[in-house]
Amino acid sequence: MRSAAFILSLLAGVYTLPTNTPRASNSVLLFDAPAFIDPADGTSTLISQEVFVFQDPVGDALTELTNIIKTGLALFGISGEDLSTAIERTKLFVAGGISDQSVSVAISGCSGAGVLADTADSGLALQNVSVGTCDTATQFSGQLVDDAATTSIVFASPDNGFGVISDIDDTVKISHVLDKIALAKATLFDDPTPVAGMPDLYATLSQTLNDPNFIYITGSPFQLYPFLRDFLETSFPETRGPIFAKNLTLSDPAGIFDLLFDDNDTFDFKLSQISRVQGMFPNKKFLTVGDSTEKDPETYGEAFRLFGDFIQCIWIRKVDDADNSDERFAAAFEGVPETKFRVYTDDDIVNVLPTIDVAGGSC
């Protein structure tokens, strides 16, 4: 998405950081994870666990990051801002990933610990790991086996009933994706603001869909995960869920240009993550919620063509100044029955969407 492009382009100068930049000790980012029954035996539980093992940037690295942000913001005519919040939100972009690290995660209420094999060169690892048999709770606490202070939430759900797949930027959070200056401020400085009515709508869906699992799939890079997680914890406390974010690093300069100029990058990523969800919960039905700023209509339309009624319903928020043409939506939803998708306005969030019986087949 454009927020990822903006941040990565802003930080392109990080390539000039000296290789001997001092760094602090190793740290681990433990992502919240979905849990599901192992289809191979039907009794044990798997978690789809992601971790990032890294060295915190210190000293010259943070000084350089500050200068890069100042320079990048000046290009947008932004100056005089307190950069402390921006540094805190973007510091993972200059954290050095550490490869060949094995990570063990203990899950409360489960009989075993999940062991992830060696991290990649980026410091990331994403694997389905068994945690043995678990009790019937829908949320579990996770923690590193050798560091109880590093924790996560594991969201368990059966392979039946309903779930919700949601975008974040300009779907549930005001990000101003189509306005670079407003986007910069929203990403780096502003307190995150939910789209009006969406917290209440999702709380209503939690009731009417009988406690669905919520999974948030975003085109934002994983380096913004702590910021986005805090936002969901604060604004959507009743409908939190794991966040699937892009694996974008600064190790390959060519990748920045791919991101800046290839709109299909986010489309491909989100479609792959919906496929990942379908692999975990093939017998569930999902409501997918997105917006018209980028590729959500095309992504969800293609997901329906691939997976059929796994996609129970598609809701797209109509964002001002986006391409909201009939031609665009006709192409995006080609082959999708009209009863399976809805383009909604902000007024509909309060007045229409809460009244729709998605569980009964309406959309």
> Residue 221 burial (CB < 10 Å; 0-12/13-18/19+)?
buried
Sign of CA dihedral 361, 327, 272, 344: negative
Residues 6+ apart with CB under 8 A from 26: 53, 54, 55, 98, 101
pLDDT of residue 258: 43
- For residue 269, which of 246, 293, 294, 296 has the smallest C-alpha distance? 246
Do residues 3 and 239 make contact, with C-beta atoms less than 8 angstroms apart?
no
CA terminus-to-terminus distance, the chain: 27
- Pairing verdict, β 162-166 and 213-221: parallel
Ramachandran category for residue 215: left, alpha or beta (phi over 0 → left; psi -120 to 50 → alpha): beta
Could you read off the pLDDT tens digit of each residue along the chain, which spans 363 residues? 555 455 555 554 443 333 333 334 689 999 999 999 999 988 999 999 999 999 887 777 777 777 777 777 776 677 666 788 888 898 888 888 999 999 999 999 999 999 998 999 999 999 999 999 999 989 999 999 988 899 999 999 999 999 999 999 999 999 999 988 888 889 888 999 999 999 999 999 999 999 999 999 999 989 999 999 999 999 999 999 999 999 876 554 333 334 433 455 899 999 999 999 999 999 999 999 999 999 999 999 999 999 999 999 999 999 999 999 999 999 999 999 999 999 999 999 999 999 999 999 999
pTM for the model stands at 0.91
Strand intervals (E) in the chain: 23-30, 33-37, 45-57, 96-97, 103-107, 113-116, 124-130, 139-144, 147-156, 162-166, 213-221, 243-246, 285-291, 311-317, 341-344
pLDDT of residue 9: 54
Alpha helices in 26-168 (DSSP H): 60-75, 84-90
pLDDT of residue 295: 95
What's 195's DSSP letter?
Answer: P
Q: What is the rounded distance in angstroms from the CA atom of residue 44 to the CA atom of residue 60? A: 47
Tokens of 274: 């919906």
pLDDT of residue 102: 94
Q: What is the rounded distance in angstroms from the CA atom of residue 64 to the CA atom of residue 68? A: 6
pLDDT of residue 124: 95
Do residues 356 and 363 make contact, with C-beta atoms less than 8 angstroms apart?
yes
Which residues on neighbouring strands pair with residue 317, listed in sequence order? Answer: 291, 344
Residues 6+ apart with CB under 8 A from 348: none
264-280 vs 296-307: helix axis angle to the nearest 10?
Answer: 40
Tokens of 181: 């200056």
Torsion of CA 221, 302, 175, 2, to 10 degrees: 50
- Pairing verdict, β 147-156 and 162-166: unpaired
